Structure 1
């Protein structure tokens, strides 16, 4: 029995070691889905999102969002995959990321913002989820090693793929664990600072969300039930930013440029 157990365990250990990946801050984690497979899932997620959403027709806004996003990607811990940034026309106050490098933001949230730094803060947060592969890890937990092994070796069927798509979108829209959200906040602030932006935009964004009217706040809390409390996020952001040089906190927040873009939103 021990001999047969060894025959089974050794290939699994080899697979796990070969699938070790580096996330934010150089943290190691075991991911059974390769980059190329994750990108394939992301493409399927994107098809689903586009079939169910109204994509903002303003190409200048799409280009602007992409420009901001790519600046963050360039200083992230995972710049080796292609990222896609899409604005969805909806009054919902939301933004989310899916595995494979896809980030989406709703015009309802864009209208709530007042500076480019606030847009950058949200974008960097979502990119951090992709860098840390939070969505992929949730898929591993939800689907189990057997099904994921089928995906790894290319033996999954259409039903399995559709299950993965459904789970992936559910995770993206319903939120990650509080620990995942804290990590995304932390590295989002670091990335936006390293990209040359004023990190106080993150604090301003959290404070803006805290001041949303009661009706909108109820909706927001439902969408982000797993996020840490807003005051906790503000306190954590202040602690992170306090470690940066003073001149970082006096950088331009980009209000003038954002006002011009915000004026284009209906």
Structure 2
């Protein structure tokens, strides 16, 4: 072992910078350890501010799920009314979980919720949150049709379409900085887009493609996705909410038929109308 010796002059030089450093450390300790009066600056939000800024172009799955939870709290708290019917909620949850295991992101923890609203609609946010309106449940003729819509929304999550739109909106509106986007702003943008977004043609084709694969792998009849869109388009009523936010429906039906012809499936699950109606008895 070697030893290093210091002269008196060396020690004096070292103390010149040691004393100021010690003073700074003591000052910080006193500030953190002393109870400050209420008007004092709250340093904690400033210290963690960096953790509240997100880079949406490089977001982790954990951050995505957390954003989805925060969006869900806002949506459920002020935007929609959830169904309190335990039978219907369980039925939709079971269909959803059956689909999830055959989706593009089977390891993601999905949450399926029924919205008490007679409009024909369904939507998804981030991190596995899917919402289905009671109006859509009543409009579908069988479980395969309902499952096709849910698979489509799962497809949006698989393709991270909302996340892409959030990035685009943040940049276009000028709220994204070089450091990223504030978490609260991200949540607000995400909620607005999830509820009112004019979905792009490309995203809808992609969600259809992903959804059809998920539907087929889960054993449901592929025809359910086509028949549900056709039924709504042929309805004499006004265009339902579900389709008004999904452009190019006629072209999508054509693309789905082509995909089914190219990769047909033997799945026939979910076509029994009587069984489906019996499962929805609790809605009456």
The TM-score with structure 2 as length reference comes to: 0.73
> Which position in structure 1 is the counterpart of 2:18?
none
- Aligned 1:1-266 pairs, distance under 5 A: 31-52=57-78, 53-144=80-171, 147=176, 150=179, 160-173=182-195, 174-215=197-238, 217=239, 219=241, 222=244, 224=245, 227-245=246-264, 247-248=266-267, 250-266=268-284
SS of aligned partner of 1:111: helix
Q: How far off its partner does 1:115 sit?
A: 0.3
Q: How far off its partner does 1:149 sit?
A: 6.8
Question: How far, CA to CA, are the matches of 1:90 and 1:149 in structure 2?
Answer: 40
**2:243–2:249 Cα contact (<8 Å) kept:** no
When the two chains are superposed, the root-mean-square deviation of aligned CA atoms in Å is: 2.3
Q: How far off its partner does 1:246 sit?
A: 6.0
SS of aligned partner of 1:103: strand
**1:92–1:109 Cα contact (<8 Å) kept:** yes
| Greater C-alpha Rg | 2
Question: How far, CA to CA, are the matches of 1:234 and 1:110 in structure 2?
Answer: 20
Q: How far off its partner does 1:178 sit?
A: 0.8
The TM-score with structure 1 as length reference comes to: 0.78
Question: How far, CA to CA, are the matches of 1:148 and 1:93 in structure 2?
Answer: 38
- In the alignment of these two chains, the number of paired residues is 226
**1:182–1:228 Cα contact (<8 Å) kept:** no
**2:152–2:211 Cα contact (<8 Å) kept:** yes
Gaps of 5+ in 1: 1-18, 20-29
**1:91–1:107 Cα contact (<8 Å) kept:** yes
CA 165–247 in structure 1, closer or farther in 2 if over 3 Å, else same: same
Q: How far off its partner does 1:235 sit?
A: 1.1
